[in-house]
Amino acid sequence: MTSPRFSVVIPVYNGGEAIDATLGSVLDQRETDFEVWLVNDGSTDDTLERLTRWQRRDARIHVIDQANGGVARARNAGAAHARGELIAFLDADDLWAPDKLEAHAAFHERHRGVEISYARIAFLHPDDPGLEAARTHSTVPTGALALEQALGENPVCTTSNLVVTRACWQASGGFREGMQHAEDQEWLARVIAGGARAVGLQRVLVGYRLSTGGLSADLPAMYAGWRRLSEEYAEGFDVAAARALYCRYLARRALRAGGSSTQAWGFALEGLKSSPGAFLKDRRRGALTVIGALVSPLLPRAARMRLFA
């Protein structure tokens, strides 16, 4: 059997209707040489039935049903079945632009020595119908990601933005299972520290869904997970600078998703105290984050979400 160009891996837990839009964006790809591995991670709703219907609809789609074990284990299970030259991960509520796989295929064809690619992201609010509705997009640095960048603000941002060669993935051993947060960032830091190259495409190819659900509890947990991760690399890079960048990212995420203004200011202050120089190295981003955190208590949540997205 001929191997496909791409293996798409999507972990799903209680995906609801969102998974339909996500899979629709996959089947709308201009690059059609792919297989899809849907991993039902012990869902308690009708997710398995939904996934099975999609499997019947398209022979490229395969479903794995397993007991709940967390997103890292689910992604690993899907990737273990991958036959494609390139593995592309996607979360069950995110979207891809129609030229996503086509762009990554062309990039890896031109740059055979690059193991990992990613792109710019469109930040979507729950009521945004697609990538074209996004008001804000991520930025992508030039050249290969340094360990400090991967552990700091991490421009990859989400696993839905990650494309990796199957050879690199297999050599890495996959995501570390059992982590509550930052399992994708841990993997990225680990492979970059081991010599892999991750390079960004200057194109918006991923729609990342923002949600305020559980945000106030989620951000501190993310920060706690990051602190544990950073301890593993404390000897190899400037932890204070990376902490400043990560706190800036968390502050902006709180503002962008309509989270607590107190929380946003707390992360901004933590980042400034850790390394003012790193926090403000990108003067525009650093200054706007501080100003946004200061004035956000004066604005309704909906206004903050729009202004600081």
Render pLDDT for 91-149 as a digit per residue (tens, 0 to 9).
Answer: 999 999 999 999 999 999 999 999 999 999 998 877 787 888 887 888 899 999 999 89
Q: How confident is the model at residue 255 (pLDDT cuts 50, 70, 90)?
A: confident
Mean pLDDT for all residues in the chain: 91
Q: Provide the pLDDT for residue 215.
A: 44
Report in angstroms the alpha-carbon separations of 305 from 248, 256, 296: 16, 5, 10
Across the range 212-233, mean pLDDT stands at 77
DSSP 8-state secondary structure symbol assigned to residue 309: -
* Residue 285: inside a domain: yes
What percent of the chain has a predicted confidence (pLDDT) above 90? 64
**pLDDT surpassing 90 at residue 271:** yes
Q: What is the pLDDT of residue 302?
A: 66
Is it the case that residue 267 has pLDDT exceeding 80? Answer: yes
Q: Does 173 or 253 have the greater pLDDT score?
A: 173
Same domain, 92 and 237: no
Output 288 or 305, whichever has higher pLDDT. Answer: 288
Q: Final residue of a domain: which of 192, 209, 226? A: 209
Tokens matching residue 247: 């706190």
Tell me how far apart the alpha carbons of residues 14 and 275 are, in angstroms, rounded to a whole number: 40
pTM of the model: 0.90
Structural domain ending residue among the three candidates 147, 179, 209 = 209
The alpha helices in 13-46, defined as continuous H runs, are 18-27
Report residue 216's pLDDT band, with 50, 70 and 90 as the boundaries: very low
Same domain, 160 and 68: yes
Structural domains counted in the chain: 2
Among 185, 190, 195, 161, CA closest to 249: 185
Q: 205 with 229, same domain?
A: no
My answer on whether 182 and 231 are in the same domain is no
What pLDDT score was predicted for residue 180?
Answer: 75
In this structure, are residues 151 and 233 in contact, taking their beta carbons and an 8 Å threshold? yes
Q: 249 and 225: one domain?
A: yes
Q: 246 and 293 share a domain?
A: yes
CA distances to 110, 167, 170, 227 from 113, rounded to whole Å, are 9, 12, 16, 31
Q: Is 12 a member of any domain?
A: yes
* Last residue of one domain, picked from the residues 152, 180, 209: 209
Within the chain, residue ranges assigned H as helices are 18-27, 47-57, 71-80, 100-110, 147-151, 166-172, 183-193, 215-231, 239-256, 261-274, 276-279, 283-295, 301-307
237 shares its domain with 260: yes
Whether 47 and 90 share a structural domain: yes
- With contact defined as beta carbons under 8 Å apart, do 246 and 226 qualify? yes
Who wins on pLDDT, 282 or 190? 190
The CB-side HSE value for 82 (13 A sphere, CA atoms) comes to 30
CA distance 50 to 246: 37
Token pair, residue 109, equals 């064809």
| Predicted confidence (pLDDT) at residue 19 exceeds the cutoff of 60 | yes
* Domain housing 256: 215-307
Name the residue with higher pLDDT: 18 or 164: 164
Q: Is residue 247 part of a domain?
A: yes
pLDDT at 307: 59
Shared domain for 228 and 248, answered yes or no, is yes
Asked if residue 306 has pLDDT above 70, the reply is: no
Q: Are residues 119 and 178 in the same domain?
A: yes
**Is 1 a member of any domain?**
no
The verdict on 149 and 202 lying in the same domain is yes
pLDDT interval class at 309 (50, 70, 90): low
User: Is the domain of 38 the same as that of 151?
Assistant: yes
Confidence (pLDDT) at 172 = 98
Q: Mean of the pLDDT values across residues 193-218?
A: 83
